[in-house]
Structures are given as C-alpha cells and as structure tokens.
Amino acid sequence: MIIDDVMTDKITLHGLGFVQVQLQGNQRLHVWHPELPRRGCFEHSAIHDHRFDFVSRVLVGTQINHVYAHQKKHDGEFVLYLHEGKRTANGGRPWTPDGCADFNLVASFEVPAGKDYDSTAYVYHRTEPGGYGRVATIMRKTGEWQAGAHSTCRVGVEPDTDFDRFQWSPAQLWEVVSDVLLGQKVTP
C-alpha cells in the first residue's frame, strides 16, 4: 500500500508523548514535556518502528533509546499493528492487526544535548525523555519506504486508536515548545 497523505498541520501532539513540528527539508522538531497527554495504552504500546531512516540531534535534555529484536510468534506477547492508509479525523493512521511477536531488549543508550543518533527503517525501538522529562530533538529523514510502520500493544490491552492529535490548541503546543527550548513556564 502507498502511504499517500502527509501530516500537513504544522504542530500537533503525538500519542507517544511529544509535540511534533513539521519543518522544511524532511525535518521535524520533537519536544517532550511531562505534562503532555499520551495515548491511553502508552505504557503497553511504546515499542514501534518507522517506515524511514532518520538522524536525530538532541537539542535540549537527554534522550534515552531502547532498541529491540523481535520474533513473530502466533502466541507472542505483543500484537503488531500496521499503520497504513488515510489519516483519521484525529490525525492518526488506522491500527490494523498484523500478527503477534515477542520483543527482546538488545541495547539502551542515552544521547545528551549536542549529540546525534540514528535509526534504520523497520527497527523496533522505544524512546523516552531523560531527566526532568523535557527533551527537544531535530529529526531528519534520510530514506523512506512505502510499507507502513508498526506500533505494538501488549496482548490483552486495547490500543488507543482514537488518540486526538489536535486535543491541544497550536497556541498551547507552542507554549510547550517555548518551555522546553527557552525554559518558560507552561500553562496547559
């Protein structure tokens, strides 16, 4: 399937707990803040992959990355959900069950401000902000493929397929960006 629509809103929430700002040149600003909403199943569904390779530079804070190996299994611990197709009214893509898998942590590493890290398409990982939960990164796509990405959700946990990327106004989201980048107070 071809993924033909692109998120065109300049600034939105992401269900993994960060603000996403679309930039020129295949780049995005990602900003984590502890007061941001996350999808309801977050603690059971943070492992995911991307349909693109990327390089990301940490601007503020410390980013913690966890990389996983997976083995598809009929009775796996996690359900894989394929994200392909037109975006929903809430800004996400459909969650289509695509088998089950087990995951094993193969690496964890911290990336401080001023350093880069990269990831290859279709490699499963989980990212979290270190320290006080305030992190900003600039991500640049370096290659992109047509097949959709996957999210995971622990078997028995219903995925939050209706997370609303637009539940906070752009003004509120820009306040979060300002707080993290400039150290100003957020008032959600």
Tens-digit pLDDT profile for residues 32-76: 999 999 999 999 999 999 999 999 999 999 999 999 999 999 999
Say if residue 187's pLDDT is above 70. no
Count the neighbouring beta carbons within 10 Å of the beta carbon of residue 45.
25
Q: State the Cα–Cα distance between residues 80 and 72, nearest whole angstrom.
A: 9
Contacts with 182 (C-beta within 8 Å, 6 or more apart), sequence order: none
Query: Which amino acid makes up residue 29?
Result: L
pLDDT tens figures, 11-23:
999 999 999 999 9
Q: What is the pLDDT of residue 3?
A: 38
- The per-residue pLDDT for 1 is 36
**To 10 degrees, the CA torsion angle through 135, 12, 56, 182?**
-40
The pLDDT tens digits of the residues spanning 83-94 come to: 988 888 888 888
Question: What is the identity of the amino acid at 20?
Answer: Q
Q: What angle do CA 25, 31, 34 make, to 5 degrees?
A: 170
Strand positions, DSSP E, the chain: 11-14, 18-23, 27-32, 52-60, 62-72, 78-83, 96-112, 116-119, 124-129, 135-144, 149-154
pLDDT band for position 2 (50/70/90)? very low
Write down the pLDDT at residue 116.
97
**pLDDT above 60 (res 184):** no
99 has a pLDDT exceeding 70: yes
Q: Which CA distances in Å does 29 have to 13, 64, 107, 111? A: 12, 17, 24, 16
Chain segment 138-154, per-residue pLDDT in tens: 999 999 898 889 999 99
Q: Does residue 105 have a pLDDT over 90?
A: yes
Contact residues for 109 (Cβ-Cβ < 8 A; gap 6+): 64, 65, 117
Contacts 24+ apart (CB under 8 A), 95-99: 95/151, 95/159, 95/161, 98/150, 99/72
Find the length of the chain: 188
Mean pLDDT of 155-184: 92
The pLDDT of residue 167 is 95
CATH architecture of residue range(s) 11-157+166-182: Sandwich (2.60)
106 and 69 Cβ atoms separated by less than 8 Å = yes
Q: pLDDT tens across 116-141, in order?
A: 999 999 999 999 999 899 999 999 99
Q: Given a cut of 50, is residue 4 above it in pLDDT? A: no
